[in-house]
């Protein structure tokens, strides 16, 4: 009886092994099919003359412009990341039914990630500017690449933009003080709300220049 029990157990384990192997084979074949299908779609998109490219490329460009990441990133850079992320998902067993909708969705999320990352990178921007514009002599050996890059972007701003960022972000003046300094320097009378909006636009312009360097 012990022998027959062992024989049944061996057969059961062998059957389980066959099922596992068959399941893995089907899973592998599914992954390969998914990969081939996505590759075909991706190659079609990378052909800039295709109809799908004429839809996907402008979509990515518009989002890069919206999040002020152009021309630091272009469509090819975004698509390359999408390709790698998609292959990773396919290898995990993900089934993608609508490749074009998927690519748009992944592109949008990735661009948002990049935007958040670069905004975090610029969080130290006022302190970098403060160091660069300090009346004290700055030892160039102590300047980081980040500081030099912020400084290079700052000097490309208009005089009005430089003044607003200097008064508010560097000197940390209150808005009424900024308004008085603005008028004293002959730039005309502007409301506090207008000055705030101009400062935000100046900061946005600084980011755009910074990312283009």
Whether residue 53 is found in the same domain as residue 150: no
Q: Taking Cα atoms as reference points, which of 163, 153, 171 lies closest to residue 195?
A: 163
Whether residue 137 is found in the same domain as residue 204: yes
Whether residue 82 is found in the same domain as residue 160: no
Q: Taking Cα atoms as reference points, which of 211, 209, 213 lies closest to residue 161?
A: 209
Whether 211 contacts 69, CB under 8 Å = yes
Tell me the percentage of the chain whose pLDDT exceeds 90.
19
| pLDDT for the residue 102 | 93
Whether residue 111 is found in the same domain as residue 133: no
Q: Is the pLDDT of residue 76 over 80?
A: yes
The 3 state secondary structure assigned to 143-191 is CCHHHHHHHHHHCCCCHHHHHHHHHHHHCCCCHHHHHHHHHHCCCCCCC
User: Sign (positive/negative) of CA torsion 198, 201, 205, 206?
Assistant: positive
**Which position has the higher pLDDT, 32 or 134?**
32
Whether residue 113 is found in the same domain as residue 127: no
Residue after which a domain boundary falls, among 63, 96, 120 = 120
Whether residue 105 is found in the same domain as residue 23: yes
Contact residues for 86 (Cβ-Cβ < 8 A; gap 6+): 38, 96, 102, 103, 106
Q: Is the pLDDT of residue 80 over 50?
A: yes
Query: In this structure, what token pair is assigned to residue 136?
Result: 């004290």
| pLDDT for the residue 206 | 83
Whether residue 88 is found in the same domain as residue 161: no
Residue 137 sits in a domain of what CATH number?
1.10.10
Q: What distance in Å separates the CA atoms of residue 185 and residue 163, rounded to the nearest whole number?
A: 10
**Residues 6-20 pLDDT 10s:** 554 554 445 455 545
Whether 163 contacts 201, CB under 8 Å = no
Query: In this structure, what token pair is assigned to residue 143?
Result: 């300047």
Whether residue 52 is found in the same domain as residue 91: yes
**Which position has the higher pLDDT, 82 or 24?**
82
From 95-104, 106-115, 137-146, the region with the lowest mean pLDDT: 137-146
Domain count, the chain: 2
Residue after which a domain boundary falls, among 68, 103, 120 = 120
**Residues 39-58 pLDDT 10s:** 999 999 988 888 888 999 99
Q: Taking Cα atoms as reference points, which of 71, 76, 70 lies closest to residue 48?
A: 76
Whether residue 116 is found in the same domain as residue 11: yes
Whether residue 58 is found in the same domain as residue 32: yes
Whether residue 84 is found in the same domain as residue 136: no
The residue segments making up the domain with residue 189 are: 123-212
Query: In this structure, what token pair is assigned to residue 204?
Result: 């946005």
| pLDDT for the residue 10 | 55
């Amino acid at each position: 009886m012990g022998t027959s029990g062992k024989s049944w157990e061996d057969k059961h384990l062998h059957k389980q092994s066959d099922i596992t192997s068959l399941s893995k084979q089907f899973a592998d074949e599914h992954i390969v099919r998914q990969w081939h299908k996505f590759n075909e779609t991706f190659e079609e998109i990378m052909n800039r003359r295709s109809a799908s490219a004429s839809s996907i490329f402008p979509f990515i460009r518009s989002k890069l412009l919206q999040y002020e990441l152009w021309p630091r990133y272009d469509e090819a850079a975004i698509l390359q990341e999408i390709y790698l992320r998609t292959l990773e998902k396919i290898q995990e067993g993900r089934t993608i039914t609508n490749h074009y909708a998927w690519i748009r969705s992944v592109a949008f999320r990735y661009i948002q990630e990049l935007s958040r990352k670069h905004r975090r990178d610029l969080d130290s921007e006022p302190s970098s500017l403060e160091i660069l514009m300090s009346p004290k002599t700055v030892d160039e050996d102590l300047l980081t690449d980040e500081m030099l890059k912020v400084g290079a972007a700052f000097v490309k701003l208009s005089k009005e933009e430089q003044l607003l960022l200097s008064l508010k972000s560097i000197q940390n003046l209150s808005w009424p003080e900024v308004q008085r300094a603005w008028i004293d320097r002959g730039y005309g009378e502007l409301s506090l709300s207008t000055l705030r909006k101009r400062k935000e636009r100046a900061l946005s312009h600084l980011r755009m220049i910074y990312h283009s360097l």
